[in-house]
Amino acid sequence: MPILCRPAVAVPEHVITQEQTLELARRTHADHPQLKLVLRLITNTGVRTRHLVRPIEETLTHPGFEVRNRRYEAEAKERVPAVVRRALAHAGVEPPDIDMIVYVSCTGFMMPSLTAWMINTMGFRPDTRQLPIAQLGCAAGGAAVSRAHDFCTAYPTANVLIVSCEFCSLLYQPADLGVGSLLSNGLFGDALSAAVVRGTGGTGMRLERNASHLVPDTESWISYAVRETGFHFLLDKRVPGTMRMLAPALRSLTADHGWEADGLDFLIVHAGGPRILDDLCHYLEVDDHLFRFSRATLTERGNIASSVVFDALDRFFAAGGTHQDAPGLLAGFGPGITAEMVLGRWTAAPAITPQRGAPPATAAHPNGSRGLTAP
C-alpha cells in the first residue's frame, strides 16, 4: 500500500506575534464599532506567532493585484525548491523517481502551474504528471494526499510529490472591515510544505482508504470574492460550528473501514481554529491529547491553509510517531464546506531506496507518451 512519508515544512523569516497583531488592530481600526469583539476573537484563536513572507510594514500596503501575484510567483520559485529537496530526501527518492506532482495553493495564481517550472528546473522527468489544485482552500492538503493515494493505487510502483505553497498574507485587504475579515487578519500565516507518497517502501502513514464529504448548501460560508484588488476572503460566522456536521462523515469513514473513531491512535487534522478541535473531541469522543500536533501548529504558525496537515504530521514524525500498524486519520477541512479524509496505519519499516532514475513499468498511451501500467 502507498506510504505517506515525512513532510518537509518551511516558514518565512518575518514573524508577527499575537500582541503585535492586537496592537495593529487597535491602532488601525480604532473607530471600528465592533473592535472589542474583533480583539476578543483574535485572542481566542490561540495563535501566538505567525510567519509572513514580507515584512509587516510591506504586508499592510496594497500595491495592486498584479504586483501581489508577481510577488507570489517570485517567492514560490525562490522558496519551494529547498522544501521539495528535503521532502525527497525524507522519502529516499530523487526527482526522476517522481511520477506525479500535486501542487496545492489558494493564495496566488499561475498558469502554467508551478509544476511546469519545477519539471523544467529541478530534474523531474518531462512525462511527470501534473495536478494543480487551487480552489479547495484549507481542505486541499487532505485532498492532495487522497489523490496521491488514488494514483499509487492505480499505479502501485509510482511515487507522488505533494507541494503546498500558501502565502496568506498576500491576500490582506486593508479596506475589508467585516468582523470575519479582521479575524482572518489575526489567524492566517504563511508556510510551504512538501511530502512524498511512495507506492512501495517508505516510512510513515500507510494509506488505506480515503473519502470526501461536502455539507449541502454551505458554499458561501468560506469563499473568495474576486475583485479588481484581488482575492477577498469571506468567512461566515457559522463556520466554527461546522464540526457538528462533518464529524459524522469522519465517523462513517472509519466505520466503513471496520474501525471506531474512538479507537484511532493518531489524528492529524486541519486546525482552522481552537473550536474545530474542541468540537471534534466532543463529537468523536476522543481524547484532546490526540490533537496536540494540530494545536501546536495553530499556536506557533496560525492557520497555514493547506499546509496545516503537513506541519502537524511533521510534528508527529518528530515526536517519534507511534507503534507499528497503529490506526489513524488525516483530514483537511475547507470551502464547500468540504472534508477531505484519509485513513491509514503507521509503519516504521525502513525505507527501501529505489534505483535512481528507474521509472515504473510503462505502457503506450493513446497520445504516444510514456505512461504507467495500472494493475
Known catalytic residues are 138
CB atoms within 10 A of CB 145: 31
**Best CA proximity match to 184, nearest among 52, 335, 302:** 302
Please answer whether residues 192 and 314 qualify as being in contact, where contact means their C-beta atoms are separated by less than 8 angstroms: no
CA-based max dimension of the chain:
66
364 φ, ψ to 5°?
Answer: -70, 130
Please answer whether residues 244 and 283 qualify as being in contact, where contact means their C-beta atoms are separated by less than 8 angstroms: yes
2 φ, ψ to 5°?
Answer: -60, 150
Residues belonging to the chain: 375
**Best CA proximity match to 261, nearest among 282, 245, 237, 276:** 282
DSSP 295-362: HHHHHHH-B-GGGHHHHHHHHHHHTT--STT-EEEEEEEETEEEEEEEEEEEE-PPP-PPPTT-PPPE
Please answer whether residues 240 and 44 qualify as being in contact, where contact means their C-beta atoms are separated by less than 8 angstroms: no
Rounded Cα distance, 249 and 237, in Å: 22
